[in-house]
Structure formats: structure tokens, C-alpha cells
Chain A
Amino acid sequence: MIRFDNVSVEYPNGVRALNDVSIHIAKGEFAFVVGPTGSGKSTLLKLIYREVTPTRGRVLFDGEDIGALKANQVPYLRRKLGIVFQDFKLLPQKNVWENLAFAMRVIGRHPRDIRRRISEVLNLVGLTKRCDAFPHQMSGGEQQRAAIARALVNHPTVLLADEPTGNLDPDTSWEIMQLLEQINTHGTTVLVATHDSQIVDRMRKRVIQLEAGYVVRDQEKGAYQHSTLTEDLCCGA
């Protein structure tokens, strides 16, 4: 579904964010991208939603070269993606319902479809009762649920989450992760960039580890740190 072929990204200021990255993410997969700040996690996600284009190599989405897309085709790529951020990016002057409706309205969806779809996703993320709350009236966890609902509202095939639990306490983080896992079981491919080691260790999903722009590990059912000891401890626990 998503394939990186020897992708390197060098920013205009000379920073090399990614070096010769080759990975493949299959349809329906759940994968973590881990690594310290500045290791290239965000850049990897940005390549998929075409915020960044590769300096070398290719990023393919369903066989299509994302870097070669014309600017006017980018919106149609993004409609296949749902994107979630650490800072939620909810519109502060709109309530939850309006935030979701906005995401559907600006791609020209019919008001009838909007009403139906919003109640579906709000139910899925457990925010049905909070649909008329404004972001400032909600907890961080609720805001992230609303942001996930917005990401899902247009039926994306892939959900990209960039540090989705960076602003949340451990319990709430875990709830959000379970929600993402639930979404994944419905068939949506989920890719999460994070440096939350507890979560990664607990989830036991595929882990792609970046270090200074290089993929240093790509492991099924991995932990945050590549250590047999940790694995043993976790499995034993």
C-alpha cells in the first residue's frame, strides 16, 4: 500500500532528515515509527501526505508516485488519508460537530451524508454526548478523540498519527492507542510516529526505528528498544 524506495530527504537548510529509507507498509497494517526527536519520524509521515517531497528515491501510495503528483492532485491524495497531530489542530471557534462537518464540507460532501457520517464516527470514538462542546471545554483526551474522529470522517484508507499522545497522560494515551487499534481492526492502515516507549512496548506492533534519518530496525511485534531483555520482561509480564 505504501512503499518507500531508497528515499532521502534533505531540507533547504542542509539538514538531512531521511537517508536511503526503504520500507513497505501493507494494507491493514498497524506500525509504529519510533526514534528520538529529530530522527526523521515526522518527515517520514510528511512524505506520505505530500507535505514534503523526496530529494531522492520514491514514495508510492497504491502504486502511485506521491512525489510526482501535480499540486492540484494532492488534495485527492489527502482524502485517502486521515491525519492526527500532537496538538490536535481543532478549530477553537467551532464545536466538535462543526469541526467534523467542516472537514467534510470543504471537500464538497452533501449535508445529508455529513449528518449521518458524523454520528457514526462520534459513536466510534465515544464522543456522541460531547458533540456540542468546544475544544477549550474538553480534556486533552477528548480533544484527541475529536481529532481522530475528524481524521476518520472522510473514510480514509490510512490513518497517520504524528505523536498523538505527546500531550496526554499515560492512562489517556493508552485509551487513545486502543482507539487507534480498534480503528485498525476495521481495516484502516494505521501508522503512528511516537517516542512513547511504554505504549510501544505494551502494544507489540511492528516497530520501524529511525536514528539520524536511517532505518536502524524494522521489527514485527517489536518493543521500543531493541533488547531481548525488554522483550522477555514484557512477554513474561
Chain B
Amino acid sequence: MGLRNVEYMIQEAFTGIRRNGIMAFASVTTIALSLGVLGTFALLALAANRFVLSRVNQFEIAVFIEGKTLADIEPVLKQIRSISGVVEMNVRDRKKEWEAFKRDRPDFESAGVPLDVLPFAVDVKVSDPGRIAQIASKIRLIKGVDRVNESKELVDRILAVLRVVKVLSIAGVLVLLGTTALIISNAIRLTLYARRLEIKIMQLVGATNQFIRLPLVIEGVVLGAVGAVLAWFFLTLGGRYVALMAEKIVFLGRISSGVGRAELACGLIFVGAMIGAAGSFVSIRRFLHD
């Protein structure tokens, strides 16, 4: 196929969009809406994933070390720091701990127990929540460590939840992707139906299927991409609003899907264009076989 014909097909695709303005508008709107729903779901799933992960990261190993002053526990801290996988350590404020303890056990205070009876509590952050148990057992072996609290069950449960969230979101995205493809191919079928005379004439004068199909597939790609840009616009606006709302809800904190604006645009346009092309291709097949 010559360059002249390719040029003609691209030209035909845009002429087609212009001449069938209302149908093109309907298709773009449908594509934008379906991609918007798909994108919202995918972004929420990603945000949920990240949110759960960030919670897991906050589950650190609590290490209790005996000692009267910070200097006493320094050698132990050094050893913990040298274990691979340990990212950060935080010695808790003993006064605050004491206040909290007193609230729980008023009997201790009345008995005149001094502050330094409490061990130092150190929060150890690890790089990978899956390695908590392994690192905890290493810390346990260090001399001077009184007790290690790894909250293993909680971590396991959260990891299990994370797995479920992952599976559900992948399944959800797949189902929505399928539905979006169906809706879009239906919208394109309507635009084709409006042009069945044109297609019929092309067939009767001996246009090859490729010659009939390509401009329409290009049209599908363009409509898909335009729909995707609209969806991107609304998702970006909506995303900013949701993030603002989330920050107001204290326990949620900063929430983000971790997907950049450019990445989101590229992803949506790619999906929109692919679905547009596939939708056209499938719908035209039916017409060509009539």
C-alpha cells in the first residue's frame, strides 16, 4: 500500500469524524466515561495498595533494652544497626512512655516505682515487612535485649489483606477493561451503522476490506485517544479533590496512587487508542461479512 493511500486513509478518518459529528461526539463521550470509571477504579486500587503497604511499613519491631541511661544501651543499638535490612531506629521518649504506663497502671506510681525501671523502647524499621520475623530473631540474640515485639500476626494479616486487595483490583480492572471494550465497540458499531451505505458502496465498487477497514480503525484510534484525554482531565481534577478530602480525614493522611500525571495520560491514551482500534476492528468485521 502506497504512501498516497495511507495519507488518503488518515484524511478519510478525520473527514469521517467531522462529517459524523454527533456519532463521533457520542463515541468520545462513551469512551471518556468508561475510561474514567476504569481509571478511577485502577487508581483507587493502587492507592489502597499503597495505603496498606504504608501501614505495613509502620509496623516496626519494638525492641526493649535494659539500661539506666542512653549511653548504657548504645552498644546494643550499634549491633542492631549493623543487621542488614534495618533501615531506621528510633528510641522512644522514656518520659512519655512512663506517662502512658502510669495511666494504665496507677498502682505502680502509688508504690513509688522510679522511672528508670522501665526498659528503653526502640522502634526498628525494616526495609521489607516480609523479613520482620527473621530480623527480630537476630535482635533477640543480642546481649542486653530484654524483649522483642514483632507483632508477627498483625503483619501476616495485613500481608494477607494486601494479597486480597491485589487480586481483587486486578480482577476488577480486567472486568472493567472488558466492559469498556464492549461499550466502546458498541458505540463504534453505531457510528458504523450510520455509515453502512458508505461501506456498502465501497464493497460494491470493489474496495478491498483493508481499504474499508483502515480509515475506520484509524478513526477508532483517534476517538479512543480523544476520549482518553477527556478521561485524564477529569481523573486528574477528581484525584486532586479526593487527595484533599483524604488529608482532612486524619487517619488516612496523605493518600496517593503513586501514578504521575504524565504516566496516567500515557496509560489512558494507550488503553483508549487500543480499545478504539480493537472496537472498530471487531465491529467492522460484522459489517464486512454482511
Q: How far is the CA of A107 from the CA of B206 in the complex (A)?
A: 7
Say yes or no: B19 contacts A103, CB within 8 Å.
no
Other-chain residue from A49, A77, A93, A107 in contact with B211 (beta carbon distance below 8 A):
A107
Complex: A78 Cα to B203 Cα, angstroms: 8
**Among B2, B8, B200, B206, contact of A89 (Cβ-Cβ < 8 Å):** B200
Interface string of A82-126 (1 = CB under 8 A from B): 010000010101000000001101111010000000000000000
- Tell me which of B19, B198, B205 contacts A150 (CB under 8 A): B205
Of the candidates B1, B201, B206, B209, which one forms a contact with A154 in the assembled complex, judged by CB atoms under 8 Å apart?
Answer: B206
**Across the interface, which residues of B come within 8 angstroms of A102, CB to CB?**
201
Q: Would A75 and B207 count as touching, CB distance under 8 A? A: yes
Q: Could you tell me the distance in whole angstroms from the C-beta of B104 to the nearest C-beta in chain A?
A: 82
Min CB gap A85→B, angstroms: 9
State which of A71, A75, A91, A105 has its C-beta within 8 Å of the C-beta of B206: A75
* Total residues of chain B contacting the partner, CB 8 A: 20
Per DSSP, chain A at the interface is: mixed
Asked if B212 lies at the interface with its beta carbon under 8 angstroms from chain A, I say: yes
Determine whether the beta carbon of B197 is less than 8 Å from that of A79: no
Query: B205: which of A71, A78, A110 is its contact (CB, 8 Å)?
Result: A78
Interchain CB contact under 8 A, A75 and B209: yes
Select which of B1, B2, B205 is within 8 A of A106 by beta carbon. B205
Given contacts A93-B19, A108-B5, contact A103 B201 (CB under 8 A): yes
Chain B residue at minimum C-beta to C-beta distance from A111: B4
The reply to whether B201 and A89 form a contact with Cβ atoms under 8 Å apart is yes
A228 within 8 A of B: no
Question: CB of B249 within 8 A of chain A?
Answer: no
Q: Are B211 and A89 in contact (CB under 8 A)?
A: no
* Chain B residues whose C-beta falls within 8 Å of the C-beta of A106 in the assembled complex: 202, 205, 207, 211-212
Interface of B is mostly: helix
Which residues of A in the span 33-84 have a Cβ within 8 Å of any Cβ on B?
Answer: 49, 71-72, 75-79, 81, 83
Q: How far is the CA of A79 from the CA of B205 in the complex (A)?
A: 6
> Which residue among B4, B204, B211 has the maximum number of chain A CB atoms within 10 Å of its CB?
B204
Whether, in the assembled complex, B82 has its beta carbon less than 8 Å from a beta carbon of chain A, the answer is: no
Complex contacts, B8 vs chain A, CB 8 Å: 105
Report chain B residues within 8 Å CB of A76: 206
Query: Shortest beta-carbon distance, B22 to chain A, in Å?
Result: 13
- Please report the C-alpha to C-alpha distance between residue A223 and residue B234 in the assembled complex, in whole angstroms: 71
Closest B residue by C-beta to A103: B205
Residues of B with C-beta under 8 A to A105: 8
A151 to chain B, nearest CB (A): 8
Residues of B close to A81: CB separation below 8 A: 206
- Return chain B residues, CB-CB under 8 Å to A77: 206
CB-CB < 8 A to B134: which residues of A?
A: none
The distance from the CB of B235 to the nearest CB of chain A, in whole angstroms, is 36
Q: Please tell me if B208 contacts chain A, counting CB pairs below 8 Å.
A: yes
Residues of B with C-beta under 8 A to A78: 203-206
Closest A-chain residue to B2, C-beta based? A108
B4: A residues at CB distance < 8 A: 110
Cα A105 to Cα B5 in complex, Å, equals 9
Complex-state Cα separation, A52 to B8, whole angstroms: 31
- A89-B197, A91-B197, A93-B19 known; A108 vs B211 contact (CB < 8 Å): yes
Cα–Cα distance between A107 and B207 once the two chains are bound (Å): 5
12 new A-B contacts, CB < 8 A, other than A79-B205, A79-B206, A83-B204, are A72-B209, A75-B203, A75-B207, A78-B204, A81-B206, A89-B204, A91-B197, A107-B205, A107-B211, A110-B4, A150-B205, A154-B205
A-B contact pairs, 23 of them (CB 8 A): A72-B208, A75-B203, A78-B204, A78-B205, A79-B205, A79-B206, A81-B206, A89-B197, A89-B201, A89-B204, A91-B198, A93-B19, A103-B201, A103-B205, A106-B202, A106-B207, A106-B211, A107-B208, A108-B1, A108-B2, A108-B211, A154-B205, A154-B206
Which of B's residues lie within 8 Å of A, judged by CB? 1-2, 4-5, 8, 19, 197-198, 200-209, 211-212
